[in-house]
């Protein structure tokens, strides 16, 4: 039961369609309207949903110690050519390209509404492999011909509670990467279902909470379908397109079930 779609609130649908089709080579499915658009990113779609001029400001902050949603990640053939194009367009970067733990090259930047996006080059080399078959399936996906949705990252208080919440949706922890140089006590665990991943950040340092925002620009929810409806730790916090939005114990939001 992988992530089938990401729902993002945007201030200007046409602007966001141009951004994602130009810089992430997303394919527009059907016609875009002032109210929304659907984009294909190979392993999942992105639903762009218009928010009005009276939408509240997002309370998301670029601090990985804030629990809940952190960023959306895409696998690419090479990071640097994409970075050159993005910089030429004046896109704001959160992190310049670096060689990161796990043998990957990564970079972070913002979409027009401030949603943090990551590009990842090469397969991860895990500090600990916890599911050899899952890792083999991940590597079998190969190098994408265009940017491919890979993961959503979230910061959590309790890894085991997060695993309990998403195991009913078919997510299995396939590996972990230690971050020994981070003084905050940082580790990443990778929960895989189908071709998509929840990248779970844990820190020993104190973390802050954030209440879910369904009407502010930025990330609204990840769609898990089909899904269990009685997963541990999920609570209803609102609705989108007639479907219930749930938040887990860290405020990370998903849309589950039919």
Domains and CATH numbers, the chain: 3-57+212-256 (3.10.180.10), 68-203 (3.10.180.10)
Q: For residue 258, is pLDDT > 80?
A: no
Segment 131-148, tens digit of pLDDT: 999 999 999 999 999 999
Q: What is the mean pLDDT of residues 169-188?
A: 96
Contact between 135 and 28 (Cβ < 8 Å) = no
The model's pLDDT over 182-235, given as tens digits with 9 standing for 90+, comes to 999 999 999 999 999 999 999 999 999 999 999 999 999 999 976 555 567 899
**Which of 39, 43, 28, 102 minimizes the C-alpha distance to 73?**
43
pLDDT digits (tens, 9 = 90+) for 70-86: 999 999 999 999 999 99
CA distance 113 to 46: 14
- For the segment 88-119, what is each residue's pLDDT rounded down to a tens digit? 999 989 999 999 999 999 999 999 999 999 99
* Rounded average pLDDT over 37-57: 96
**Residue 190's closest CA among 151, 228, 155, 233?**
151
Token output for 177: 């990467």
pTM over 0.95: yes
CA-nearest of 19, 118, 133, 38 to 76 is 118
């Amino acid at each position: 039961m992988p992530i089938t779609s990401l729902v993002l609130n945007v201030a200007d649908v046409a602007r966001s369609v141009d951004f994602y089709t130009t810089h992430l080579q997303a394919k527009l499915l059907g016609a875009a309207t002032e109210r929304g658009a659907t984009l294909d990113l190979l392993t999942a779609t992105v639903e762009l949903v218009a928010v009005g001029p009276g939408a509240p400001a997002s309370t998301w902050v670029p601090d990985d110690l804030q629990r809940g949603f952190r960023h959306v990640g895409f696998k690419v053939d090479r990071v640097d050519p994409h970075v050159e194009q993005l910089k030429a367009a004046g896109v704001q970067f959160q992190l310049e390209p670096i060689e990161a733990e796990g043998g990957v090259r990564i970079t972070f930047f913002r979409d027009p509404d401030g949603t943090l996006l990551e590009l990842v080059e090469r397969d991860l080399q895990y500090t600990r492999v916890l599911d050899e078959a899952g890792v083999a399936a991940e590597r079998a996906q190969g190098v994408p011909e265009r940017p491919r949705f890979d993961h959503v990252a979230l910061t959590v208080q309790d890894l085991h509670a997060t695993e309990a919440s998403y195991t009913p949706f078919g997510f299995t922890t396939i590996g972990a990467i230690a971050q020994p140089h981070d003084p905050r006590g940082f580790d990443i665990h990778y929960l895989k279902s189908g071709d998509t991943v929840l990248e779970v950040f844990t820190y020993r340092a104190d973390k802050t909470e954030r209440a879910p925002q369904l009407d502010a620009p930025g990330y609204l929810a990840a769609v898990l379908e089909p899904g269990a409806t009685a997963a541990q730790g999920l609570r209803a916090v609102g609705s989108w397109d007639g479907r219930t939005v749930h938040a887990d114990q860290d405020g990370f939001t998903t849309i589950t079930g039919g």
